[in-house]
Every structure is written in C-alpha cells, then in structure tokens.
Amino acid sequence: MSSNGAAARDYQSRPWSMVHVIMILFSWRSVLLSVYYPQIFLILTSGSYLALSSVVALGANIICNKIPGLAPRQRAICQSRPDAIIVVGEGAQMGINECQYQFRYGRWNCSALGERTVFGQELRVGQSGS
C-alpha cells in the first residue's frame, strides 16, 4: 500500500477517535451532550475532520464554562485549545490508572477523599470489579 493510502486511512480514523475522546473526557455529561449537542453525533457519519473541529470549537466555550474548578487562565486555554484539554484529561486518566495499578494491593489505591472522585467510580481494595 502506498503512503497516500496510509495517510488517507489515518485521516478517516481521526474524527472517530476525537469524538470518542471527547465523550470519554466528558462522560458524566454524555447524556447532556447527546441531547443539547446533536451536531457531535452527526459528525459520526460525515467522516470529516474539519467538520468535527468546527463543532468542537463551537462547543468549546459552552463546555469549558461548565467545567467546575477551572482558573481563568485554564478556562481560556480550554476555550482556545480544546484539544489540549482533551490531552490533559487523557494524561490525568493515565496517571490515575498507573497509580491504581501500582498500589493495587495496598490499603489506599489512589481513590479520592470523601464521596467525590476524579474520573468516576474507583474501586476499593476488597471490592470486585464486576
């Protein structure tokens, strides 16, 4: 296969992976996104990276303004570079996964304090993962 074929394959796969990452990053709001931002789901059939990036840019202000705890500078970065926030979210999730793996047999496995968690439910030692 020529290098053009590989580039075309990569181009076609990017919108799918970007939508997937967006939905994972904002999974706790995925229902709201599907109801209030149906454009994101229309992208799944378009196969166009340009269309996806414009939808992300349009929704960035709305999404970034609803993320609790962002400092003004972080909010500005989120609005101007939503791709950077996605990568930050991926990195944080990777860090949590690695921490939980490293401390998997300990009393503390990187779970958050109290009822609040960083990225959804975290397992406690002695609980099944079902």
- Say if residues 110 and 103 touch (Cβ distance below 8 Å): yes
With a CB cutoff of 8 Å and minimum separation 6, the contacts of 21 are: 86, 89, 90
Per-residue pLDDT of the chain (130 residues; tens, 9 = 90+): 445 555 444 444 444 444 554 554 544 344 344 444 444 444 443 444 444 455 455 577 777 887 778 888 888 888 888 777 778 778 888 888 888 888 888 887 777 665 555 555 544 544 444 4
Tokens encoding 75: 């909010």
pTM above 0.85, yes or no: no
